[in-house]
Structure 1
Amino acid sequence: MPQFEVDGATLTYDDEGPRDGDGVPLVFVHGWTADRHRWDHQMAHFARRRRVVRLDLRGHGESTGSGARRIEDLAEDVVALLDHLKVERFVLVGHSMGGMISQTLALAHPERVERMVLVNSIGRMTYSRGRGLLMAVSTLVPYKLFVAANIQRAFAPGHPREEIRSYIRASAATPREVVMTLYSAMRAFDVLDRVGEIRVPTLMVHGYHDAQLPVGQMLRMAKAYPDAVIRVLDAGHELPVEKPAELTAALDRFLSS
């Protein structure tokens, strides 16, 4: 389990697959309160034939550290890790907050991004009424209850309850300081007026039942992208684990196009 020290944090990551495989490396970035194992299905599939890197963001999963106040801070963590691994050019795949990190990185380092995939992500944070109310009372309820409410509504109706409970437990292990600080960072995130500057082929995959970041918000962002492909799947906000095979197939088609 390799680790990398950067700016007061220890990042745990995986770097697998052939160095001389098909195409540039894939870099997977998870979302808020999640960890790198959201990408298990994609990792197992793509690492057979190309290099794949994924990490636990600072304060998440098996990584330590806090202090990231902006999405830009997390993007620079990713860049620092890729510099350490001598990965110069890559395909970015980001889920939710990871998609925000990916767009931020692509704007700051356009020469390094060959393609980009945004999974259940948006260019400007706008909360639905239900999410807004939940966040407004976040300081008034026990932390574990707050996390549970967020994760529960992230899945489409009918998803197995025991699996949802396992993700609630994993998310609740993320330190409260990290969770609430990065909530504020996401609330301030807004690159909607700049996404037209991202001139790389981009795939946007979204869940039709996403209550966290509704599909209409993704479509608003997609209009500004000069070269975007859109896929909407029958899932909620947690596409990588709700519909892992369908997401992997969409990535495969996009990467081979």
Structure 2
Amino acid sequence: MPQLEVDGAALRYDDEGPRDGDGVPLVFVHGWTANRHRWDHQMAHFAERRRVIRFDLRGHGESSGAGVKTVAELAADLLALLDHLEIDRFVPVGHSMGGMISQTVALSHPERVERMVLVNSIGRMTYSRGRGLLMGVSTLVPFKLFVAANIQRAFAPGYPRDEIRAYIKSSADTPREVVMTLYGAMRAFDVLDRAGEIQAPTLMIHGYHDVQLPVRQMLRMAKACPDATVRILDAGHELPVEKPAELTAAIDAFVSVGPASPARPSPRARLS
């Protein structure tokens, strides 16, 4: 399995599909405490006809390393991997924190992002007083309980409990330093006021039952984004595993419409 050494981290990645396939490469970026296998369904589908890349963020899955304190540092890892693979222009598909990483790249290097897909992701963490208190208190409980409480809330009501337990175990295997540091990084992440600068056409696809990053917060960003298409699915925060086929179909429809135009459209979010 290939890996790339970046600033003291060994990043494991998969690079599949035809190099001369349809369109620019898709690059899948997973979220907090997850790993690249969140994208198994999407990789299997898209690798048949286009180049697709996914990787474990540092400290997650089979990647080593820690020490990053901001989403921007994780974005630098992504850019290092793309440079290593000699990929200039691409489509980032980011889930949750992976969407924050994607937004960071789209704002800092707009020339490299043809389109962007944000899955259950937002531009600013905003808490009500009650939820803010709950989240603050949650960091004071034992680490495994902290992880379990957050992962449990990520799924829509009715999702199989045995599968949720498996995801909790996988998340708890992520080093404590990585989990807690990046939890703080997400809370500090804020590019909402810059949403109007995003040049790439953007699909924002969200679970209706997402209580981690509520739909209303995503819609605030969609309203400000110059070219946003919004999809709402009957799921929670973990769309890649709760509704994999529906998510794949939505991404496929969005990235199959041809190269993005360099012209900026009038500001309006579309519901589809």
- Please give the TM-score of this superposition, normalised by the length of structure 2: 0.92
Partner of 2:224: 224
1:142 shift after superposition: 1.2
Partner of 2:84: 84
1:42 shift after superposition: 0.2
1:129 shift after superposition: 5.5
CA distance in 1, matches of 2:37, 2:89: 23
**Cα distance per residue 1:210-242 (max 9 Å; x no partner):** 010000000011001000100000000000000
CA distance in 2, matches of 1:13, 1:84: 12
Cα RMSD, aligned residues only: 1.0
Partner of 2:191: 191
Partner of 1:210: 210
Do the aligned residues in 2 keep the contact of 1:90 with 1:113 (CA within 8 Å)? yes
**Cα distance per residue 1:29-49 (max 9 Å; x no partner):** 000000000000000000010
1:237 equivalent to 2:233? Answer no
1:128 shift after superposition: 5.0
CA distance in 2, matches of 1:227, 1:178: 34
SS state of the match for residue 179, structure 1? helix
Change (3 A) 1:19 1:102: same
Change (3 A) 1:92 1:76: same
Instruction: Tell me the percent identity.
Output: 82
Amino acid at match of 2:88: E
CA distance in 1, matches of 2:255, 2:86: 22
CA distance in 2, matches of 1:139, 1:13: 31
1:169 equivalent to 2:169? Answer yes
CA distance in 2, matches of 1:36, 1:12: 9
Q: After TM superposition, what 4+ stretches of structure 1 lie above 4 angstroms from structure 2? A: 128-131
1:158 equivalent to 2:158? Answer yes
SS state of the match for residue 194, structure 1? helix
SS state of the match for residue 249, structure 2? helix
SS state of the match for residue 204, structure 1? strand
Partner of 1:127: 127
Structure 2 counterparts to residues 34-73 of structure 1, below 5 A: 34-73=34-73
1:139 shift after superposition: 3.7
**Cα distance per residue 1:86-111 (max 9 Å; x no partner):** 11110010000000000001111111
1:256 shift after superposition: 1.7
CA distance in 2, matches of 1:67, 1:131: 28
1:164 shift after superposition: 0.5
Partner of 2:248: 248
- Please give the TM-score of this superposition, normalised by the length of structure 1: 0.98
In structure 2, stretches of 5+ residues that fail to align are: 258-272
Do the aligned residues in 2 keep the contact of 1:128 with 1:213 (CA within 8 Å)? no
Do the aligned residues in 2 keep the contact of 1:202 with 1:227 (CA within 8 Å)? yes
Partner of 1:137: 137
Change (3 A) 1:87 1:130: farther
Change (3 A) 1:188 1:59: same
Partner of 2:17: 17
1:113 shift after superposition: 0.4
Partner of 1:111: 111
Partner of 2:262: none
CA distance in 1, matches of 2:139, 2:111: 41
CA distance in 1, matches of 2:128, 2:38: 24
CA distance in 2, matches of 1:100, 1:107: 11
Count of residues in Structure 1 that have an aligned counterpart in Structure 2: 257
Change (3 A) 1:203 1:146: same
1:132 shift after superposition: 2.7
Partner of 1:29: 29
**Cα distance per residue 1:20-72 (max 9 Å; x no partner):** 00000000000000000000000000001000000000000100100111100
**Cα distance per residue 1:66-85 (max 9 Å; x no partner):** 01111000000000001001
Amino acid at match of 1:179: V
